[in-house]
Structure 1
Amino acid sequence: MEGGPAVCCQDPRAELVERVAAMDVAHLEETDGSPEPTRNCVDPSPRARAASVIPGGTPRCPAARPGLSARKFSLQERPAGSCLEAQAVPYATGPASHISPRVWRRPTIESHHVAISDAEDCVQLNQYKLQSEIGKGAYGVVRLAYNESEDRHYVSLGIDSLCRPPPRGSQAAQAGPAKQLLPLERVYQEIAILKKLDHVNVVKLIEVLDDPAEDNLYLVFDLLRKGPVMEVPCDKPFPEEQARLYLRDIILGLEYLHYQKIIHRDIKPSNLLLGDDGHVKIADFGVSNQFEGNDARLSSTAGTPAFMAPEAISESGQSFSGKALDVWATGVTLYCFVYGKCPFIDDFILALHRKIKNEAIVFPEE
């Protein structure tokens, strides 16, 4: 219509986005025109500021004023096909009042047929060449995996056959104790959580290879060659500016996890992997919890003792906030970044618990 608002997309969802954005613009024009305050006194990152620009130099939509799209719409949750299409850098998760509750993610591949053969210098697992062993997880061996068609390396975690229960319906499965299923249940819980996630500050599960006819289960992750961001204790902690940048990455990742209703429960430097881009990615969801509502109410302890919050080791028997646990562990992690050690240290668990519950945090003079 002549004189009407410009329409940059034909998708009806795009029209809805523009109408809401226009309403927000009208609301802003009623104010004194002062710039929007920064969140927690921290300027938006260059990536967040660039969120309202479509890659390739495409101009912004007419209704999307500078800063408006990044403030009103999560980068994960912008309606597909609209002029506010989801970007490749999902940093800001935003409030819970999004236009669409759906979150765009790269889906995890699930392969239910596994072909394994011995090659000359490796083991061929479907399209992956399993090469050198680079570590060991709680349930199996971690190997370097090469996908020749993509010319790209990944990490493959082979879940040990001892974790897999007997086939369903067998006498062994019916008569065996329930605790035999617990390790595999924990693995499947971690897989269910990882499949939900796609964020630049969270490790990405690429593929699950789970053949019922095979003993082993394989998980394929992005390769993060630099490994953990820090080993604690450390003789050379980070300068405060570097610690701040890493802390920002952790907070962005945690904000995303909590928005996805996931409590990590084991935030610590060794579970924070450094990507090739220098940014931290949260890993290891083996003790994580999913929740409903605004927060998880927990009553059991899990995670690493030196990073546990006082309420998690209290003997009161009262439930406690799951989100708060992650925030406390993030604070302990920041202390490690700056000082190279945990704020509370003891060789004995009970003595360590007493220190966490009763002693004040001491900041070294240096």
Structure 2
Amino acid sequence: NMQPLERVYREIAILKKLDHRNVVKLVEVLDDPDEDGLHMAFELMTKGPVMEVPTDDPLTEDQARFYFRDVVLGTEYLHYHKIIHRDIKPSNLLLGDDGHVKIADFGVSNEFEGADALLSSTAGTPAFMAPEMISEQQQGFSGKALDVWAMGVTLFCFVFGECPFYDEYVVSLHNKIKNDPVEFPETPQVSSELKDLITKMLDKNPATRILIPEIKLHPWVTENSSNPLPLEEEHCTAVEVTDEEVQNSVKLIPSLSAVILVKSMLRKRSFSNPFECQGRRAERSMSAPGDRCSGDHLSCCCC
């Protein structure tokens, strides 16, 4: 019975066709038949994460709003394609060359059917986990609501430079997430609209937690409606995959260690983005024949 594998290949084919300004491009998925697991090669994002947490130098409200709007649109796009991210956090939000944030690493994402996913397995980073994920009675929970909670923790990190719930011991951390109200530090001072939004995203009850369409209309996000976000249909277009794309969704590479060796050689020689457009690469290769990337991306993936 090939169904589960078929499903994985179909999901990968969709992931490879996702195309949104706020989602990192998946360039190739590599499979070494001698190894377990698939290797995902994403576009190179040389600027790295939007911020490190904890930090003594958090973002201003205006900066936080700019990046948060990107996160909202990227997450809405993933949810539109029935993908739950499950690990939204600042270190998975990478800065693009255009200054906007792209969501990276849907490694633990789940494709769902119907209007929302009912998830029962836990994945993600402990300090960003929603309370319903750590309740004793493991019933299914809404995937979209999990991503909203993690976005709330992320927004808190943006402006305060630390997580709203933190403890080095996991059991204590879980208790804080489940039981403690959100407390806002005295400094930096933030607007009451921002506190209102964070409080609604960090609602411990997933049934009453704010939804993405409501977040998009929140006065803090839209600056009191002066700067509205695009509607879902304005920035989300459906991705269709052919049978051929599903069959070719994963490239078989007999020895990935050879690719990884090439990768480390390349890294020492150049930090240039291997995925820039073919035209510029051709120009460069004429002037510097030693620094040419082979056209199939594989010799320089996932640097």
Please tell me whether the aligned partners of residues 193 and 285 of structure 1 are also in contact (alpha carbons under 8 angstroms): no
State the Cα distance separating 1:278 from its structure 2 match: 0.7
Query: In structure 2, how many angstroms separate the alpha carbons of the residues matched to 1:317 and 1:359?
Result: 21
Given that residues 190 and 285 in structure 1 are in contact (C-alpha distance below 8 angstroms), is that contact kept between their aligned partners in structure 2? no
Counterpart check, 1:329 vs 2:150: yes
Q: Decide whether aligned partners of structure 1 residues 358 and 198 sit closer, same or farther in structure 2, where only a CA change above 3 A counts.
A: same
Paired AA for residue 84 in structure 2: I
Q: Report the residue type matching 2:63 in the other structure.
A: Q
Give per-residue Cα distances to partners, 1:317-365, cap 9 Å, x unaligned. 2211100000000000000000000000101101000000000000011
Query: Would the aligned equivalents of 2:94 and 2:104 in 1 still touch at CA under 8 Å?
Result: yes
**Counterpart Cα distance in 2 of 1:217 and 1:332:** 30
Number of the residue aligned with 1:223: 44
Alignment of 1:166-181 (within 5 A): none
**Structure 1: runs of 5+ lacking an equivalent:** 1-183
Counterpart AA for 1:348: Y
Report the counterpart of residue 181 of structure 2 in structure 1. 360
The one of 308, 330, 344 equivalent to 2:165 is 344
Question: In structure 2, the residue corresponding to 1:350 is in which secondary structure?
Answer: helix
Task: Give the Å deviation of 1:212.
Answer: 5.7
CA contact (8 A) 2:11 2:111 kept: no
Cα 1:226–1:255, aligned 2, differ >3 Å: closer, same or farther?
A: same
Contact 2:16/2:28 (<8 A) preserved: no
Q: How has the CA–CA distance of structure 1 residues 188 and 234 changed in structure 2, closer, same or farther, with 3 Å as cutoff?
A: farther
Counterpart selection for 1:257 from 78, 81, 96 = 78
The CA distance in 2 between the partners of 1:331 and 1:313, in whole Å, is 17
The match for 1:201 is 22
Residue 132 of structure 2 corresponds to residue 301 of structure 1: no
Determine the C-alpha separation between the residues in 2 that align with 1:348 and 1:311. Answer: 19
Deviation of 1:207 (Å)? 3.1
* 3-state SS in 1 of match to 2:65: helix
Counterpart of 2:87 (choices 227, 241, 266) is: 266
Q: Deviations over 1:130-156 (max 9, x none)?
A: xxxxxxxxxxxxxxxxxxxxxxxxxxx
Partner residue of 1:243? Answer: 64
Flag structure 2 segments of 5+ consecutive residues without an equivalent.
188-303
Q: Secondary structure in 2 aligned to 1:206?
A: strand
* Whole-Å separation in 2 of the counterparts to 1:279 and 1:222: 15
1:192 and 1:300 mapped to 2: Cα distance? 24
Confirm or deny: 8 A CA contact 1:190 1:288 kept in the other structure: no
Q: Please give the secondary structure, in 2, of the residue aligned with 1:333.
A: helix
Q: C-alpha deviations, 1:222-275, integer Å up to 9, x for none?
A: 221110111110110000000001000000001100000000000000011110
Tell me how far 1:204 sits from its aligned partner: 0.2
- Letter in structure 2 aligned against 1:200: R
Distance 1:201 1:358, change over 3 A: same
Question: In the alignment, residue 238 of structure 1 is paired with which amino acid?
Answer: L
* CA distance in 1 between partners of 2:47 and 2:134 (Å): 33
Q: 1:176-213 CA distances to partner (integer Å, 9 max, x unpaired)?
A: xxxxxxxx99x979845522421110000123455769
Q: Label 1:354 to 1:282 Cα distance change in 2 as closer, same or farther (>3 A).
A: same
In structure 2, distance between residues paired with 1:215 and 1:303: 21
Say if 1:347 and 1:188 are closer, same or farther in 2 by CA, change over 3 A: farther
Q: Given the alignment, which residue of 132, 135, 147 partners 1:311?
A: 132
SS of 2:27's equivalent in the other structure is strand
Residue 127 of structure 2 contacts residue 166 of structure 2 at CA under 8 Å; is this kept in 1?
yes
Change (3 A) 1:354 1:198: same
1:316–1:211 Cα change, 3 Å: closer
* Alpha-carbon distance between aligned partners in 1 of 2:34 and 2:132, rounded to the nearest angstrom: 45
Higher RCO (CA 8 Å, separation ≥ 6 residues): 2
Q: Distance in 2 between matches of 1:189 and 1:335?
A: 35
Under a length normalisation based on structure 1, what TM-score does the superposition of the two structures give? Answer: 0.46
CA apart distance, 1:218: 5.9
In 1, the alpha carbon distance for the partners of 2:112 and 2:62 equals 34
1:216–1:267 CA distance, 2 compared to 1 (3 A): closer
Residues of 2 paired with 1:269 and 1:350: CA distance? 23
Output aligned runs, 1:86-101, within 5 Å.
none
Which of the two has greater helix per residue?
2
Q: How far apart in 2 are the matches of 1:211 and 1:350?
A: 38
Aligned residues: 183
Which has the larger strand fraction?
1
